[in-house]
Amino acid sequence: MVDGVSRFACVRVEAFAAASLERCEPGLREQPLAVVTGAPPATRVLDANARARAEGVRPGLADAEAVVRCPGLVRRSVSAEAETAARHALLEACLSVSPRLEDAAPGLVHVDLDGLGRVFGDESELGRRLRRHAHAVGLEACVGIAGSRADAGVAARLGSPVHVLSPGAERAALAAVPLATLEWPAALAATFARWGLATLGDLAALPRAGVGARLGPAGLAAHDRAAGVDRTPFRAWTPPPFWAEAQGLDWEITTVPALVPVLERVLARLCARLAGAQLLIDVLEMRLALGSGGLHARSVALAAPLGEAAPIVSLLALEIEAHPPPAAVTGVALSARVVPRRAAPGGLWQPPAPAPRDLATVLTRLTLLVGGANVGTPVVVDSHRPDDYTLAPFDGHAGAGDAVPGRDDDPAQPHPIAGSLALRRLRPPRPVEVDTHDGRPTRVRNTSGLAAAVEISAGPWRLSGHWWDTDAWAHDEWDVALSDHTLWRLSHNRLNNQWFLTALYD
């Protein structure tokens, strides 16, 4: 928003059907490409990239005529899966710049720029940022910026990668733009030609009511578009709860080594989208379309969330080798359950955090060695029992330092004063023999042969819990000063009359 005037960007990918296939096969960008639909001999061109259009290939041409005009033409069947994935990729790329988007059409996104200048800079820089994010997901876009969505859409078609129309100057800047710059229905374009209209300014100068009376709703929409008027509300786009990429194949694949490059391309596109949204893959669903008409589905849960394609492809290859599909593969679809990417701040004197791939490898090996129940993050349990803890799934962020309020390790509690003794816990506690008099310890002996008299004792501090259950426990704790000048903390299990050395004072 500039001085109270709303500003919008239009992000446009030209020849979107062709661009979505180029995103799946980047090598097609260097060749003339036509997207065709229909069955032979009635196959027709649906879309064409810039190289093919330069050779005279246009939508609507018969397939045979297109080949005559461009002998080196590469033809691909239209792919709904590739277009859907590319459409979501473009929206997600723009979402990483602005939280308010409108999905106007395939390959056309309106972006609300309100407040973004204070974050990213002027409007030219905003346009360049939108293009960079689109390029990161495999799409080449042009960006137009103006005071309305209609004017921004025209600006995105004027040739330059980023075209900014100054506030208040849109009408003068667009009045001379030829009507042919925009796509019009054939009947409407013929009517404009009969009326002698050549530019957007010519159409905008006509009385709107008269255009509507003669051409109906289509004429009113065309007049509003030429005049740069937005009459429809801004319909904000909400990202779907899933992230998916797919690619169909024009041939059948029967071996894992031949399938791996396809998985790498599909997963690389998915990871590029997730990187822009600061997300990681937690669980990956793989669906393989089969030549028999069936579907082979597998789910791969990762030991730790990952955002790199290489280790995940290796896991997918192992999964396919362990559970091979019953027929040849004709299509690949991957959908991810995601988790947010968390920042991992480090200290100047701390070692860097391990890479997610290395951490996942270590966790997997530990799980195989000791079992899944013995690998995790220690979490203090809200209990009066000393050293009571449990294991939670390890995510690389929570740890034993997550204190429970009210416990000794809670950072909100006051710290010991300088010069106080440090208590060193022994885990597990060590059994000892204790002589008592009137219930108080008088002499201790340990398994290594040490025997010492108790000179001073403090206690007991009585602790108990779960008295209502079979897991009941009851301890008395004592602090004792021994004749060898050491300080011990003893624990007496009142239920079985056993003594343990639980800690030493330093």
pLDDT per position as a tens digit, 113-151:
988 888 888 899 999 999 999 999 899 999 999 999 999
Question: Domain with 279 in it: what CATH number?
Answer: 3.30.1490.100
Residues 66 and 161 in one domain: yes
pLDDT of residue 370: 85
Q: Does residue 167 sit within a domain? A: yes
User: Which pLDDT value is given to residue 396?
Assistant: 58
The C-alpha R_g of the chain, in whole angstroms, comes to 35
Are 25 and 156 part of one and the same domain? Answer: yes
- Block residue for tokens 């029992």: 385
Query: Is residue 408 in a domain?
Result: no
Name 47's bridge partners.
35
- Number of Cβ within 10 Å of residue 137's Cβ equals 23
The closest alpha carbon to 157, from 195, 107, 122, 119, belongs to 107
Q: What percent of the chain has pLDDT over 90?
A: 40
Do residues 249 and 118 share a domain?
Answer: no
State whether 332 and 467 are in the same domain: no
Q: Does the residue 92 lie in any domain? A: yes
Q: Is 259 strand, coil or helix?
A: helix
pLDDT in tens, 87-120: 999 998 998 889 899 999 999 999 999 888 888 8
Q: Summarize pLDDT for 206-233 with one digit per residue, the tens.
A: 999 999 999 999 999 999 999 999 999 9
171 — pLDDT class (breaks 50, 70, 90): confident
* 121 located within any domain: yes
Final residue belonging to a domain, choices 115, 147, 174? 174
Is residue 418 very low, low, confident or very high in pLDDT (cuts 50, 70, 90)?
A: very low
121: containing domain: 8-174
- Whether residues 22 and 160 share a domain: the answer is yes
CA dihedral angle for residue 382, residue 385, residue 386, residue 387, rounded to 10 degrees: -50
Of 441 and 1, more confident: 441
Query: Largest alpha-carbon pair distance within the chain?
Result: 117
| Domain end marker among 340, 373, 397 | 340
Q: Give the pLDDT confidence of 385-409 residue by residue, as tens digits.
A: 777 778 887 765 544 444 444 444 4
* Same-domain pairing of 13 and 151: yes
Task: Let me know if residue 347 belongs to a domain.
Answer: no
Please choose, from the candidates 58, 13, 3, the residue with its C-alpha nearest in 3D space to the C-alpha of residue 35: 58
Q: What is the CATH number of the domain that holds 72?
A: 3.30.70.270
* HEC string for 91-145: HHHHHCCCCCEEEEECCEEEEECCCCHHHHCCHHHHHHHHHHHHHHCCCCCEEEE
Q: Can you give the pLDDT at residue 395?
A: 63
Give domain status of residue 269, yes or no: yes
d(CA 254, CA 231): 54
- One-letter identity of residue 334: L
pLDDT of residue 255: 92
Q: How is the beta sheet containing 74-77 ordered, strand by strand?
A: 44-48, 33-37, 74-77
- How much is the pLDDT for 364? 76
Q: How far is CA 451 from CA 433, 440, 446, in A?
A: 9, 17, 7
Mean predicted lDDT score pLDDT of the chain: 85
pLDDT tens digits, one per residue of 297-315:
998 888 778 888 888 998 8
pLDDT score, position 420: 61
Q: Provide the token pair at 83.
A: 């277009």
Number of domains present in the structure of the chain:
3
Asked if residue 88 and residue 167 are part of one domain, the reply reads yes
* 486 domain-assigned: yes
Both 60 and 140 in a single domain?
yes
Final residue of a structural domain among 296, 312, 340: 340
Identify the band that residue 344 occupies on the pLDDT scale cut at 50, 70 and 90. Answer: low
104 and 13 fall within a common domain: yes
In contact, 110 and 9? CB cutoff 8 Å: yes
What pLDDT, on the 0 to 100 scale, is given for residue 127?
A: 92
Convert the pLDDT of each residue in 451-499 to its tens digit: 889 898 888 888 888 777 777 888 888 898 988 888 988 888 888 888 9
Q: Is 379 a domain residue?
A: no
Mean pLDDT, range 348-371, rounded to an integer: 75
Both 320 and 427 in one domain: the answer is no
Give which of 168, 177, 337 is closest to 241, Cα–Cα. Answer: 337
Are residues 169 and 24 located together in one domain of the fold?
yes
Q: pLDDT confidence of 346, banded at 50, 70, 90?
A: low
Q: Within this chain, do residues 168 and 248 fall inside the same structural domain, yes or no?
A: no
